[in-house]
Structure 1
Amino acid sequence: MKAIVKKAKSLASTLPGKIAILLFLVVLILVLLIDIFTVTFSTSMLRQNIEDSISTSTFQSGKYFDQILERAKDLSFQLATNETLKKYINVQKTSNDDYEKLEWKKEAQKALLSIISSNKFISSVYILINKESSLGYPTISFDNIDFNNLFKSNWVKMAFESDQGFIWCADHNQYFNDILKEVGSDVRDYSISVVRVLYDPSTGNKIGLIVIDIGKDVFDEMLSNIKITKNGISFVITPDSKIITSKNLSTAIKSKINVIKTTISEKADKKDADIFETNLPDVWIVSYSKSSDSGFIYASLIPKNDITSKISKLQLVIILISLIFGVFVIGGSFFGTLKITKSVKVVLEQMNKASGGNLTAFSHVSLNDEIGILSDGFNKMVSQLRELVGKVKQLSEQVNKTISTIATIASETTAASNEVAKAISEIAEGACSQANEATLISQAMSGFTKDVINMVEDFNRMNKVSEEVLVKTDRGYSAIEVLRQVAGNSQKTTKDMILRVRELIGWVEKINKIMNLLSSISEQTRLLALNATLEAAKAGESGKGFAVVASEIRKLAQQSKDATKGVEEIVKNILSKAKFSEKVVDDVENIIKLQEDSIRSVEISFTEMKNAISDLLEGLQRAIKTLRVIDSKKDKIFNSVENISAVSEETAALSEEVSAATEQQLASIEELQNMVYSLRNLSEELNKAVSVFKVE
């Protein structure tokens, strides 16, 4: 055992052992990561697929149940609209012939039989009207049924009050099945019934019900055959919260369904289909689907262990496969590593020789993989190093000769550069003095230039203001002319208005006289009408007609008098207003005369102002011309001074640049000498270093 451990330790200290251990760890980590990811992902996907499968199965089962329910609902509608049944109801209601009633009852019974025979899921059909007219299949006697109590039962009331004209009923035993069982009638078990209202064909009134029972064995068989998982259970919740299950369920399972029923109904009110977990007390998965047409809820109840057991098996299979894969990968990696490290050792031995300075080393590895490429690259590198070392030795000798020549030239160049630097320094000092004097002259001219510019700008502004004042004076003078014309027109209009007002007063006075005359005529007419009335009264019956006319004339005379008084009042008001207007117009005429005098005075003032501004403007323009001549000559002088200053500054700057370049050249020559000494030392060190390598 100790020998095996020792061998393992020695193997682990070698490169192949280290690579093998590294590969083992990498593969182990990868396998673990893959296992974790695969198990997690597959578990999640499997669970999701199982839940989707459960939901789909529940939905498809619901669709199948819905088809049966829809078929039963359609059959109830066919019976309600069946012509034979309608004729039978009319005969029972109107005919006194018992034979005819019996014949039509047989026909109606045949219609029921045809429906039952072609639809095996129906256990029984009842047409409930009264004791005499009711029908049923299987055939039963309705003599013991109290139809008054029957139509007062809860399930019948619900059918009559339904807006759809039918209901789904899980229990119609009240006053019907219970009584039939008591008297020993052949009553079949049912899971659910469609109860439809039956109407009188002639009046449209509600007269009874059509009851179609779906056999209990049909639902029992379907629910028993639905096996989503080994221990899965399927059941149906009716719209009135009744539960339909298969008959072979245990009491414990039925109690679990009763517990979860309310939760499913509440969830179905919010969402038509869903799947969720619940504790009963162990964990169960519940899937349901609510029919939007019938309102039935189709549900499945699956123990969670049925799903987790499948998932656990899958996890175990994945782990085993991963372990087997890991073993094969690790074994293959180990043997491949041994083969690789053998070739690597050969290359490393030759590299050690080359690192010691022996450039005659050569790697004899003939492989087509990366190790072979590494070996070929090493051999090429050693060959190129041999050539490089030989060339370095030759170049080192040539560099030593060149360094001696450069040192001699650098010494001669340094002496010449020193003499040039002294001459340039003297030129630079003279150029600087000249530039300073030119700068002083330029500054003085700059101040003079600014003063001249300011004077020109001030005179320009004064000229501009004077021109604007002159323009505004012209506008004022023009406005006064317009005002004077308007005043003249106003005076003329006022005079015309005075004449019109006075004419109006004359016409009003004439109207007043005419109205006085009309008032007098109206008074005389009224007196004449009164006298005519008196004369008509004296004439008796023969004067009645004339009396009526006289009465009307009197009324008209009175109305004329009243109207004349109103007009007189209006005329008096107009006359008083017209006289007041005449006074106002006289006042306006006086005001206009004063306004005209004021306009003449303002016009004279504006004329004098315009002449004074014109003289001022001419003087300003002459001053501006003189300043412009001074400004143009000033610019020439200032430009000349600036040119002299610029040339002096440029000369000084060039002298400084040449001086700086000369100093820089001297510094470069000194640096070149230093570099020559350094290069000579490096060349000697390079010769010593190259002498270490063995190239032959």
Structure 2
Amino acid sequence: MKRFLKNGIALSKLNPARKVGIKLFLFFFVFVLLMVAVVGVSSYVKSKEIVKEEVSQASQGTIVQTRARLDMLFKQYDDLATSFMADRELSLAIIGIVLNSTDQEVDPESLTAYEDQIKHMVYTDDNLVGITLFDLNGGTLSKISKAGTVKNIEQAGDKVWFKEALEREEQVYWIDMSRTGIHDPSTTPTFGVIKYLVEQRAVVLLELNIKAIQSQLDDLEVGGSGQFMILSVQEELQYHSDYELIGSKSFVHIPADDSGAPLLSGSEEVVDEQGQSQLVVFSRSEHTGWYVVGSFPVDDLVKNTKQIRDFTIGALAISALVAIALSLVIVRMIASPLIQLRNLMNEGATGNLAVRIRPGSQDEIGQLGESFNQMMEQLDQLVRQTHNTARQVFDTSTSLSDASKSIALSAKEVSTATEEIAGGAATLAAEAERGSGATAAIGEQMGEVIELNAQMGKIADEVQRASDTGTASMKELIARTMATEEITRSMVEKIEQLKTSTLSIRSILDVLESMTKQTNILSLNATIEAARAGAAGKGFMVVADEIRKLADQSKQNIEVVGQITHSIQSEIEETVGVLSKAAPLFREQLNSVHDTEATFGDVKKHMNEFADKLDETIRSVHELHLCERMLTEAMGNVGAVSEQASAASQEVASLASQQQHAGAGLVEISDHLSELSLSLKEALNRFTLNKSDSEAVE
């Protein structure tokens, strides 16, 4: 228990919004307390309502019975007032008093007959204070009270109750309670009933003592500080145990129905002058219109229900202690494994893929740990495969760079060879021009052939030497042309090999692209698992997001390498096309060189014959003229062939220059590919693998 309390104190210092353990602790703690509080308060409130309802129903019955008893009392005096009209002797006496009386004096005979009957009524009824007879102007014709006979007392014409009696004619009117008496001073409160005797042309007032009502209420039992009272329609007190309050406004308000008329009976809870809640039950009298009201303090009614409230408070305290203990147990069972998993995920997010969680329970948290271990194992294998692929890409880019440099070197040699071919062609053209000049000189000096026979011999020797030189140059040109053709063929083969290497690179890029797709799928699955884990999978989601970003970066790098490889393939195909066009030109150049060599052989042969038949030159002038024409044509052919060779060599030089530029481009591409592979390797070095895996990657 002490350990749980220490854990609870430590948890209280943390941020609840970021700790699932504290959330669970608070949720369970608040839930238990809330449930106990709801049950306790509901029980307390419901018990109060039940007690109030039962008291209200019981009190309603008491009030109705009391009101019925009072109505019997009120009906008794209603009937007594009506008897002044129904009793013939009494009615004749009243008529005699009214008809035979003057302003100064009442008829004695009629008055005596009337008062004899009235005295019997007053003295035999303890509730009656007195009976007064008025004329229609409010003058007192007779007043009999327990205090004795009174004549010619105060006029009542201006009294409200007198006017109300005249307006009601034959109906009785109940006069509200007066603390000092209705018609004359009294030491006790009185109330009365007044009736207009239409036939007798008089008004009779029966004044009653408050004890008439009090006697009906004394035998009623009221628990605690409850009390009974009577209210008028204006909600003024007509009866109260404290006589001083009679006539004052009551705190009770009689509710009205939908039409606005006051209810005949009912109950409600109100607040009295002291601020205490009172349960008020009321019922209206049929005769007087007054309300019989019972008022009961709610606190007295529900005082026994306070035990439920006290029990609820004690249950809340015990529940709080139990909730704390159970909450700490739940926090230890759920929050601790989640915190451990979060820490391992944060460590994995830094690149350490060798972290693993120890297997624990077989519930959802244990399954989450197993899923974490499987994810880290798959990430470990993925990084290892990516390491191997990056190494293969680096090796391939190194081979590509070497091949590109070799192609660039070969292109440079071809360019040098073509320049030499161009120089040889220029020399051949110059020699052809010199031959043409020599034949022209022969034509001009044909007439001097005989005289210049010796010079002809020298010239023949020079022509023979020039022919030997041309033949040697043509042989050298043939050798270089064949070497150029061999170099071109070798270059085509190397370019084909380079094309094959680029295809291999393309297949490797396809494998890398497939691996990035698998990585994206794996990261998506990891994100889904993290979302299922809720707040506990946030760190897991960060790792998945980092893996997805790495996969996207690898995909972008692979696309860049693919574009570069595609560009290399395009340039290789263009180079192969150009070399394919250059091969026939080399063959044509070789044939032309062979023709030129044959021409030089003919020239040598003719010059040998010319030397042998130098003595027959004169005789063979015409033959010499023909030979001169043949020589001129041969020189023209040699010049044309030389020009063709020069043009071909220039085209070959241009192709060699393009090949050299293409080789330089391949070198740059291969260098860029090497940089990308090194960058990928550096990115992968951020991850820490298992010892066996890291050794395999190395």
Q: Give the TM-score of the pair, scaled to structure 1.
A: 0.38
Q: Give the TM-score of the pair, scaled to structure 2.
A: 0.38
